[in-house]
Structures are given as structure tokens and as C-alpha cells.
Amino acid sequence: MRIQETTHRDEPRPRHPAVERSKTSKVNTTPKRSILAAIGNTPMVELPNLSPKEGIRLYAKLEGHNPTGSVKDRIALCMIEQAE
């Protein structure tokens, strides 16, 4: 199956806030005081070419940008903070 780009996206569309942040944010290279401080603000990207039909917008969350590359990083952070 070949996915083709459509032309129905000529008009501006509202973007998800995380998408807007990811377009303007730079990779943060500031050293963190601990691995826990590096968790959060996972970037999201829109996948317009994978949309099954007009009006449906798909996003991917780049969990690999978390310190351990896992969606469970935030859960672990919450557990650690509550235990302290």
C-alpha cells in the first residue's frame, strides 16, 4: 500500500499545544541534577501522511526522548516522589 500526500491541507489548522511547543523548542542540553529531573515534556510529532481520512489527525509521542526511553518513566517518577 502506498500512502500519498493529499492537498486538502491548504488552510491553516489548529495544532495540538504539544506540537506547537515541539516546533519552537530546542533540544535541552542543560545538565540535570538527577535523572528524575530529565523526565517530562516528551515531544510529539504529527503524522499527516498516515491519516486514514480527512479530518483525522494522528500524533506520535517520542518516548525515546525520556531518560530510559520508556513510557513508564513518569509512573516511576511519581512512585519515587511519593516514597520520599
In a domain, 2, yes or no: no
In a domain, 61, yes or no: yes
In a domain, 8, yes or no: no
Strand pairing class (44-46; 59-61): antiparallel
Distances (CA, A) of 63 to 45, 59, 81: 11, 12, 21
| Per-residue pLDDT tens digits for 31-41 | 778 777 777 77
- Is residue 61 flagged as an active site residue? no
In a domain, 5, yes or no: no
**Residue 27: per-residue pLDDT:** 58
Share of the chain above pLDDT 70, in %: 63
pTM, 2 dp = 0.42
Q: Count structural domains, the chain.
A: 1
pLDDT band of residue 24 (cuts 50, 70, 90) is low
In a domain, 11, yes or no: no
Residue ranges making up the domain that contains 65:
17-23+32-83
In a domain, 1, yes or no: no
